[in-house]
Amino acid sequence: MSNTLLSAVTPLRPTVAQTVRLRSLMSAGEGLHSAVRLWLRAVGDGQCLPLRQALSAVAEGGSLPSVRDETFVHVPRSAHAELGESTSASLPRPWRDLLPDETFTTMLSIEARRLQRFDSPAPAGRVSPLWPLPRLPLDLAVRPLDAYHIVMDGSADPIVADLWALPDDLSVALLAQAGTHAREVESRRADLMACIQGGDLGMATELYRLAHLRPSAHEDRLAGHRPDRSRPHRVDHASLVRTTDIAGRERFQIEWTLRIPHGYLPKADIDDTLGIDLGYRRLATAASAEGRWTVERRVDVREGLPEPAAHLLAELLAHAQVRRMLLDLHRTDIEALVRRALRFRQVNLERLDWPGLIAHGDVPWCPEAMALLGAPSITDWISLLAPVSGTRVELVDPSNTSTTCHRCGGRGLRPRPYTEFVCPSCGPMDADLSGALAIRRGDVASWAN
Ligand SMILES: [Zn+2]
């Protein structure tokens, strides 16, 4: 049996200035992506246009010859070679200043690999589709620094990132290399301090240099870091993704690739479906034929947290530290529930419609408060690890799951304070348990009366 590669996501919390940089980085990547695709169409159509010249034309606001989707193109071998041999020196100035070398070479090698599938003429729309760039490959140009920060080539300051907001083992996997680097810097620092103590003040300059040292991909490689392959560990692929959060605001995140070794999780062996209901009164209620398990809420956060000043790195960090503390209050219970859920062959989870909940829910603060305590992590972590255990995950439309009786399919009521569900035929039952059992049965529309 082979290992499983997972894509683990950590949200970034950049300052205003860092956001501007991330946006330029993304748009430079998008510009490069679309220029390369248009160039491939043009050379496939028999036009003579060096890649370097095409990139400069686009960077200066010009356009490339347009080739329609249905035109048959055949990209010549010489163009494959041009992709493979280009270095970031071929990038026009504005892009060269923004895009890390890693990004440029990775994007071009992805194109070159993709082209290998087309060794005879095919429609331009298939050979070189003009889709938007889904993710910007950064690979070794981005690295975890500690549980709260990443560093990116070309950025002066580290960016606050929620590296802690993953199952514990996966956060550890991301931080393994960061730890190795930190230990090396620490031991070098101790040596220098000993020299200075011994009277060699000349070493102070070296000490200052060390204080500014950021781990570089090259140094990590040279350090001969060997991850423990029997544990989850990070592989070199990492990308920047632009997305929107539950309130519809622009957000950036890093997608890391982690390798999960065979045998890390037991295979799903319980031949039943587990239904999980998320809430605020109780973060999660899971129900199967055999029983129920819950994650109880330990603190009331309906007041929310003050928004950090988006230009202050220190406030963004403090905000992350409080959020981590709130999640950590529930972490043991959440991780236990996730592990238990992954023993089931099938898990039914609520499809969370955050914007809908905010707009139409009785308690508009509820989604934010649930997110603050880590309730969505239950859904995210089970979905993330399901391929490892072989668990099938079904996302269930949660509408009516709280007002439909899981036993008879009849419509019932959830009177205030919402702790009980009352079915006219079957009587009262615990509202969260009733919700979990309804989710366990799947989409209400298919079985309710
Ligand atoms: Zn009933």
Let me know whether 187 and 112 are in one domain: no
- pLDDT category at 448 given cuts 50, 70, 90 is confident
* Domain tally, the chain: 3
Phi-psi region of 266 (alpha: psi -120 to 50; beta: other; left: phi over 0): beta
Please report the pLDDT score of residue 1 as a whole number. 56
Domain membership of residue 305 as a residue range: 265-446
Matching residue, tokens 């034309």: 57
What's the gap in Å between 410 CA and the centre of ligand 1? 5
Closest by CA position to 104, among listed 134, 83, 131: 83
Give the CA angle between residues 58, 97, 107 to the nearest 5°: 65
Let me know whether 104 and 154 are in one domain: no
Looking at the domain assignment, is residue 125 inside a domain? yes
What's the gap in Å between 434 CA and the centre of ligand 1? 10
What's the gap in Å between 297 CA and the centre of ligand 1? 28
Domain's final residue, options 105, 136, 167: 136
Looking at the domain assignment, is residue 410 inside a domain? yes
Q: In the predicted model, what is the mean pLDDT of residues 23-45?
A: 94
Give the ranges where 60-92 is alpha helix by DSSP (H): 77-85
Q: 163 to each of 2, 150, 175, 300, how far by Cα in Å?
A: 26, 8, 8, 24
What's the gap in Å between 354 CA and the centre of ligand 1? 29
Let me know whether 155 and 34 are in one domain: no
Let me know whether 80 and 14 are in one domain: yes
- pLDDT category at 358 given cuts 50, 70, 90 is low
What's the gap in Å between 424 CA and the centre of ligand 1? 7
Q: In the predicted model, what is the mean pLDDT of residues 439-448?
A: 87
Q: What is the pLDDT of residues 265-298, one digit of tens each?
A: 999 999 999 999 998 889 999 999 989 999 999 9
What is d(CA 337, CA 343) in angstroms, rounded to the nearest whole number?
Answer: 10
What's the gap in Å between 430 CA and the centre of ligand 1? 13
What's the gap in Å between 428 CA and the centre of ligand 1? 9
Residues in Cβ contact with 204 at an 8 Å cutoff, skipping those fewer than 6 apart = 196
DSSP 407: T
Residues with Cβ within 5 Å of ion ligand 1? 405, 407-408, 410, 423, 425-426
* Cβ atoms within 10 Å, residue 117: 9
What is d(CA 326, CA 150) in angstroms, rounded to the nearest whole number?
Answer: 21
Q: What is the pLDDT of residues 141-177, one digit of tens each?
A: 898 888 899 988 877 788 999 999 999 999 988 888 6
Per-residue tokens: 208: 């200052």
Domain's final residue, options 136, 157, 183: 136
392 vs 89, which has greater pLDDT? Answer: 392
Domain's final residue, options 209, 231, 253: 231
Closest by CA position to 176, among listed 104, 228, 131, 130: 228
What's the gap in Å between 162 CA and the centre of ligand 1? 43
Q: 77 to each of 43, 47, 354, how far by Cα in Å?
A: 10, 14, 49
AA identity, residue 304: G
Looking at the domain assignment, is residue 131 inside a domain? yes
Phi-psi region of 427 (alpha: psi -120 to 50; beta: other; left: phi over 0): left
Let me know whether 424 and 282 are in one domain: yes
- Quote the distance between the C-alpha of residue 194 and its chain's center: 42
What's the gap in Å between 45 CA and the centre of ligand 1? 66
Using the CB atoms, write b or e for 234-246: b if 16+ within 10 Å.
beebbbbbbeeeb
Please report the pLDDT score of residue 318 as a whole number. 94
Q: What is the pLDDT of residues 177-224, one digit of tens each?
A: 676 666 666 777 788 888 888 888 888 887 776 665 544 443 444 344
Contact between 277 and 432 under an 8 Å Cβ cutoff? The reply is yes
Q: What is the pLDDT of residues 400-429, one digit of tens each?
A: 888 899 999 999 998 888 889 999 999 999
With a threshold of 0.75, does the pTM exceed it? yes
What's the gap in Å between 412 CA and the centre of ligand 1? 8
Let me know whether 176 and 205 are in one domain: yes
Let me know whether 86 and 151 are in one domain: no
Please report the pLDDT score of residue 215 as a whole number. 47
- pLDDT category at 393 given cuts 50, 70, 90 is very high
Closest by CA position to 287, among listed 399, 396, 366, 448: 396
Residue by residue, DSSP assigns 190-232 as HHHHHHHHTT-TTHHHHHHHHHT----HHHHHHTT----TTS-
Q: What percent of the chain has pLDDT over 90?
A: 60
What is d(CA 160, CA 151) in angstroms, rounded to the nearest whole number?
Answer: 9
What's the gap in Å between 288 CA and the centre of ligand 1? 18
Looking at the domain assignment, is residue 240 inside a domain? no
